[in-house]
Structures are given as structure tokens and as C-alpha cells.
Chain A
Amino acid sequence: MHKDGYMIQFFKVYKTYPGNIKALADVSFKIEKGEFVFVTGPSGAGKTTLMKLIIRMERPDQGEILVNKRNLSRIKHSQIPLLRREVGFVFQDFKLLNNKTVYDNIALVLRALGYNKREIPKRVRQVLRVVGLDERVLRQPPLKLSGGEQQRVAIARALANTPSIILADEPTGNLDPELTVEILDLLEKVNNLGTTVVVATHNTGLVAHYKKRTIPLYRGEMAA
């Protein structure tokens, strides 16, 4: 694959938290555009830190990170929002705003990104269809939905700005096995539409089921 075909590249990345807690050490990998990758490892392996580094929520102590040709060591603070607009983030605990409706949860993102007022309702309905949710949920608060539906809403929100990358940190951690498969199928569907998908999970069974490339981590290092 040509160098330009990589969406995410890590070169000898190190990250240590205060208190000398080693999160990542000598981590290098490349993820191609349109690839579906699992980042695997037990709790404390450094999966979340790796995800946070991709969206510049954290900075590495050493090493270089390239995301869609942007060198994260060199981007200015003012450019971080532009980087994040290319990435959709999905969390284990959904991080939906429970005092707002499903519609407002998704529309909030679009408003923040300067979408036209007329465009927003159309776009919200569009992404809701992609994640397989009925329009009837639009006016409901997230807490009235099932766990699987809430995660679908979170994925819809992540997709709202048509990102190049979807990062999902333990997206099925709070779901039962049936819903887990539903959500992973959905992420696979999103990947088939051309979006690069990176899923962090400790669920080895899931990884085995989907037969995708894995980046295995153990205590912050790339496992053999």
C-alpha cells in the first residue's frame, strides 16, 4: 500500500501518566484508509490512551502520530477541532445527553460544526436511517431507549459529520451478546461505506468472530 493510503500511523509512540504510570511504550502500527481494525488487550493495556492520542486528547511523550496526513506533534491548538471533525468517537457509556432528545443529541454536533439550519433535520434523519433507528425515537430522551438503541444513537452522532474515521472504545462493553453483534454489524456496515473503523475491545470472542486485523496491546506494549 502507498504511504498516502494510510489513515493512522504510529511511530515508536510512548506515553506515561503522572506517577510514572506507563500507558504506552514503543507502539508502532499503520491503519489503511477504509480498514476495520480491532485494538485488543485486557483492561489497562493502553487501548483508551491509544484512542485519545488519535484525537489529540493526549499528547505522546515520544514518537510521531499521523492521522489522515496530519502530524499530530506539529498541529497547532487551533487545528485540533479540524482534526476531530474527521473522527467520530463512540464510547462504552454512550455519552448521550439525557436531558435532551435524540434529535437534539445529534443536532447539537451539527450546530457546533456550523451546519445550515435547514440542513440539520435532514441530516439527523439520514444518519438515523443508517444506524437503523425509527424516526419515532427522535423526540425521546435517550434514557427511554434500550442500551442497543442508545449506542446506535451514539453511532449516529459520530457519523453525523461524515467522518473519515470512527473510533469506538469498548462500544459493546455495556451490551448483552445479541446487541453486541448488532452494534458490530452496524460498525461493519459503516466501514463498508468507506469509513475507517477502529474498535478497542477486550472481548476476544468478538475479535475471533469478525476476523479483522488486530493491534494487540499488553501493558502498554504491542503484544507479539
Chain B
Amino acid sequence: MTASMGALSLVRRTFGVMKENGPAHILSIGTIAISFFLFAAFLLLPLNLTSLLEAWEKKVQIILYLKDGVEEQRILQLTGELQKEGGIREVRYISQRTAKESFERDLAGYGGVLKGVKEEIFPASLEIQMDERFRTPERIRALAARLRTIQEAEEVQYGGVWLERFSLFLYTLRWGVWILGGVLVVIIVSVTANTVRLTLYNKKGEIEILKLVGATDAFVKLPFYLEGGLQGLLGAGGSILLLLALFHFFSLKVAPYVSLYFGELRLSFLPPAMIAWILGIGVAAGLLGGLLSLRKAAGI
């Protein structure tokens, strides 16, 4: 009972302290919220871009264009050999005729643009679909390289070059997030420390009296630690709410248009564990800010 009353009184004193220095605290919490918003947004970005990458990887297929004059029997043999290969789910033979028909279908709206074009100019090819677990840029690249060594292969194409680049971009982004996170934590600690220092300065007279009448160090200092921690928590919480609002806006208003160009987008928000981490980092950075400001105010 006494402990809970003590905790309640501590919370009340902390809020009292924060209320007295209201504008500075609002500014500080706002700055922390913006810093965390940037961090959380940069966490959210690779999270969703990864799912986009996975969606695109599913669509990736390798096309092996055959040299002219490869006999039907050899093509059937090649198809059979490739289907036995690990990681390949399906091999579909596209003859010159099928290729031309497909092209005609695609250009149906353009009238007789293909009139008179012979089917010989369309190369026969093998369309190779891969198993899901083999749809990584590295494996696709390795398979494509091996297919190029087939004697009958004229050319091997896959949409992997830009996928690889995108994957590299994501990798860089993920590392960038942590570097950015580190910089932002330093900013948050410094912002909190300065606000707590301002409060300390404003409360100098009161602290002096409390120390003189025999208040314990804990009684004097705890509200300032708590003030720092609370600022961090409110800032981090605010950033999550802001990001959530923007995420919903993007999901409802923007994502449908993006899906038109890039295929179905399955957007996901930060998982609860990550949110808990962000809030935890907020509290820890705030507490550290409080601690640093109290250390600097050595007389207190």
C-alpha cells in the first residue's frame, strides 16, 4: 500500500514537474517523436519492400532461347533433362509458331502490324519456372549461368539483374536503418538531457530546499529520471501512432494504384515485437538523457 502510494506520488510529482515546464516538454516530445518516426519509417520500408521483392521473385522465370534448327527430339530431350534438375519446377517449350501466336495476341489491337512476318524470325524457347525456395537472386543467377553453357542455347534471359540490384538496395537500406537508428538515439538522448536540464534549472530552488531538509537522493532525483523516461516513451509512442496513421492512409489511398504497376502489394505494419523495441529504446534513451543531465548538474 505504502509502496504503491509512493509510486503514485512519484508519478504525480513527475507530471507536476513536466506540467510546470510544459512548452519545453511538448517541444522535446515532438522532436523525439519525429526522430523515432524517421527510424520506424525506415524500418517499415525494407519490411514491405522485402515482401514486394518476394512477390516479384515468384514471377521470375528464366527463358532459354534456342538456336535455329535444333531438332524437335533434342528439344524434348533437353526439356526432360532440365525437369529432372533440382530447383526447376516446370519447363515449357515455346515453339516458333507459339511464339508468333502469342506475339500476335499481345499486339491484337494494332491491326495487321505483323502481317507478312514469318514465324522463323521468332526464336523457339524454353520457359523455366523455378521452385519457390530456389527463387533467390543468387540461385537464379547460378542457374542462368549454367544454362548458358548448353550447346543449343542462343541466349538466356531472366529479370534478375534489376532484382539483384533491388536486393542490394534493400540490403543497404537495412544497414542504413541501423546507422540512422544510432544517430537518432544520440539525438534523442541529447534532446531529453537538455529538457531535463532545463527542468533542473527551473527547479533549482526547490531541489536546494529538499536537499537541505533531508530529502533522500532518490526522492530528489527519481522524478527527473522518470521525466526523461516518460518523454522517451511518449515520443516513441507518438511516432508509432503517426506512422500507423500514415500507413493506413497509404494502404487505403495509395497502395491500390501502386498495385496496378507492381502487382498485388501485401503491406504489413511493424510487428508487435518491433514496436515494443522502439518503445523500449525510447524509454532507455530518455532515462539515459535524464541520467546525463543529473550527472552534469553535479551539485544536485
Is B3 interfacial (CB 8 A cutoff)?
Answer: no
Q: Count of B residues near A, CB < 8 Å?
A: 16
Is A123 interfacial (CB 8 A cutoff)?
Answer: no
* A residues less than 8 Å from B54 (CB atoms): none
Is A112 interfacial (CB 8 A cutoff)?
Answer: yes
With contact pairs A111-B9, A112-B219 given, residues A95 and B214 touching in the complex (Cβ less than 8 Å): no
- Write the A149-165 contact mask toward B (1 if CB under 8 angstroms, else 0): 00000000100110000
User: Cα distance A152–B30 when bound, in Å?
Assistant: 44
Q: Count of A residues near B, CB < 8 Å?
A: 24
> Within residues 83 to 139 of chain A, which ones have a CB less than 8 A from any CB in chain B?
83-86, 88-89, 95, 97, 99, 108-109, 111-113, 117
Is B213 interfacial (CB 8 A cutoff)?
Answer: yes
Determine if A113 and B213 form an interchain contact, defined as CB atoms under 8 angstroms apart.
Answer: yes
> Within residues 183 to 233 of chain B, which ones have a CB less than 8 A from any CB in chain A?
205-206, 208-217, 219
User: Cα distance A37–B253 when bound, in Å?
Assistant: 81
Shortest Cβ distance from residue A76 to the other chain B in the assembled complex, whole angstroms: 12
Determine if B213 and A109 form an interchain contact, defined as CB atoms under 8 angstroms apart.
Answer: yes
Determine if B210 and A89 form an interchain contact, defined as CB atoms under 8 angstroms apart.
Answer: no
Q: Which residue of B lies closest to A82 (CB)?
A: B214
Which of B9, B20, B206, B216 sits near A81, CB closer than 8 Å? Answer: B216
Is A187 interfacial (CB 8 A cutoff)?
Answer: no
User: Cα distance A191–B176 when bound, in Å?
Assistant: 70
User: Cα distance A161–B213 when bound, in Å?
Assistant: 9
* B residues less than 8 Å from A109 (CB atoms): 209-210, 213
Q: Interface majority SS on A: helix, strand, loop or mixed? A: mixed
With contact pairs A111-B9, A112-B219 given, residues A84 and B206 touching in the complex (Cβ less than 8 Å): no
User: Cα distance A149–B175 when bound, in Å?
Assistant: 65
User: Cα distance A59–B215 when bound, in Å?
Assistant: 19
* A residues less than 8 Å from B214 (CB atoms): 80-86, 112-113, 161
User: Cα distance A59–B14 when bound, in Å?
Assistant: 32
User: Cα distance A112–B219 when bound, in Å?
Assistant: 7
* B residues less than 8 Å from A88 (CB atoms): 213
Determine if B215 and A81 form an interchain contact, defined as CB atoms under 8 angstroms apart.
Answer: yes
Is A13 interfacial (CB 8 A cutoff)?
Answer: no
* A residues less than 8 Å from B213 (CB atoms): 84-85, 88-89, 109, 112-113, 157, 160-161
Is A55 interfacial (CB 8 A cutoff)?
Answer: yes
Which of B5, B20, B206, B216 sits near A108, CB closer than 8 Å? Answer: B206
> Within residues 44 to 92 of chain B, which ones have a CB less than 8 A from any CB in chain A?
none
With contact pairs A81-B216, A112-B215 given, residues A95 and B210 touching in the complex (Cβ less than 8 Å): no
- Write the B1-26 contact mask toward A (1 if CB under 8 angstroms, else 0): 00001000100000000001000000
User: Cα distance A55–B214 when bound, in Å?
Assistant: 10
In the complex, given contacts A97-B205, A109-B210, what are 13 additional A-B residue pairs having Cβ atoms less than 8 angstroms apart? A55-B212, A85-B213, A95-B205, A95-B208, A95-B209, A99-B20, A108-B210, A109-B209, A109-B213, A111-B9, A112-B210, A112-B213, A113-B214
